[in-house]
Amino acid sequence: MPDWILGDKFKTRYPHKGSIKTLWETRWKFACQKGVYPFHDGSYEDFEPIFHKLISENINDASTEEYTSTFLPIASELELRASEALNTGQTDRAIDLFRRAAVVYRISRFPYVDNTEPNSIKRTAFDRQKQAYLNSASRWDPPIQEVIVPHTNRAGKDGHQIPIYTRIPNNAGPNNPVPVVLIMTGLDGYRPDNSQRTHEITARGWAVVIAEIPGTADSPADPADPASPDRLWDSVFAYMATQPMLDIHQVVLWGLSAGGFYAIRAAHTHATRLRGAIAHGAGCHYFLDAEWLSRVDDHEYPFSITPGWAKKYGYDDVRRFAQEARKKFSLVETGIVDRPSCRLLLLNGIDDGITPIEDSLLLFRHGSPKEGRFFDGLPHMAYPDSLPVAYTWLEGILPSVAKYKN
């Protein structure tokens, strides 16, 4: 690309890169105090001593064991306190403490859990996050539950099982099946990282199904096979069709960040099964451009993103990823976006330095008409401004019970 819409920021190295102190003081401390991404569900009092230790010991690389291990004692202490609360009948307090522990584990396993390294400390932290989260969320009303779905459409190097989370609102029943929002997670945000979305969705009388995307977390899909997500969603749809409380004719996708790529793909490959799809912070073509990838590690993502991104698409070498991935995976070059699609809403910030806004705009030149809302001056995902737009759009295509009280 001769000129990126990001402008001068494209060649700018953001000041927090490589410094945990600057990251905390200029970005994450405020997010932590406000309880927003990536600290949603968390508590500032849990993180302040952790980042004090990281800064004092000059631990700047989140990919190291030293980084992750710094979080684990506080997470373990929170779990211990939660168990003690359960034993003394303080269920609400236990729910709160388990939730807080899960968030500490979340930040500890940033920026990526490599599912080819089952014995890594990041994998251990993720497994403990899931356990703590379900100890909390399984006690909510309505609860979040884990379901192990058989990958009935698996092929090649795909795994055999698809772990998903489900949350079914109290108004659902065999005689009253409800619409479904299928959330496709991202590069660093996985199944246990979507509490607020499940609150909002079930409050509208809809069910939530959360699944991880190829190459991340617990996804069984072969990350190196461009068609593996199609098989993955076929199996998830087959499972949903067996559930009498889910209305399989009223399904909308919501792909988050790296999951937005898969929402765009599924909006075309599974168009007849969907009422619509939201691609939120999505890439489809230019995000895999070699020039873009040469600078993306300098932008707003808290750490280097290309090592995890390469792994996520089945590459061990970042240089090969930059040279080959666009031709292999681009939804434009492979012709996916020239097929008919279901309704597709594109959301992002115009100043996105992770997935260029060009990728959203490009889609308006291919296939079926699209819908979009892009936010001046906002970075990747355009939080918080983009969220009300998403919920309003969903309300326009799914029958809802206005703020149903669960």
Dihedral sign for Cα 253, 259, 264, 268, please: negative
Q: Let me know if 257 is a catalytic residue.
A: yes
Active site residue 160: no
Q: What is the dihedral of CA 399, 402, 403, 406, to 10 degrees?
A: -70
Q: Give yes or no for a contact between 293 and 321, defined as CB atoms under 8 angstroms apart.
A: yes
Spell out where 283-399 has E strands: 343-349, 371-375
The rounded distance, in Å, linking the Cα atoms of 35 and 376 is 23
Backbone dihedral region for residue 254 (phi beyond 0: left; psi -120 to 50: alpha; all else: beta) = beta
In contact, 195 and 91? CB cutoff 8 Å: no
Half-sphere exposure of 350 (CA within 13 A, CB side): 7
Count other C-beta atoms under 10 Å from residue 287's C-beta: 24
Q: What is the DSSP string of 145-212?
A: EEEEEE-TT--TT--SEEEEEEE--TT-BTTB-EEEEEEE--SS--GGG-HHHHHHHHHTT-EEEEEP
Of the residues 330, 380, 386, 400, only one is catalytic, namely: 380
C-alpha–C-alpha distance, residues 344 and 378, integer Å: 21
Do residues 176 and 401 touch, judged by C-beta distance below 8 A?
no
Q: Pick the catalytic residue: 257, 304, 386, 400?
A: 257
270 catalytic residue (yes or no) = no
Q: Residue 298 gets which letter from DSSP?
A: G
Strands 161-167, 207-211: parallel, antiparallel or unpaired by DSSP?
Answer: antiparallel
Catalytic residue among 222, 247, 297, 352: 352
What are the phi and psi torsion angles at 148 (to 5°)? Answer: -100, 110
Query: Percentage helix, strand, coil, to 5, in the chain?
Result: 45, 15, 40
Task: Return the active site residues.
Answer: 257, 352, 380
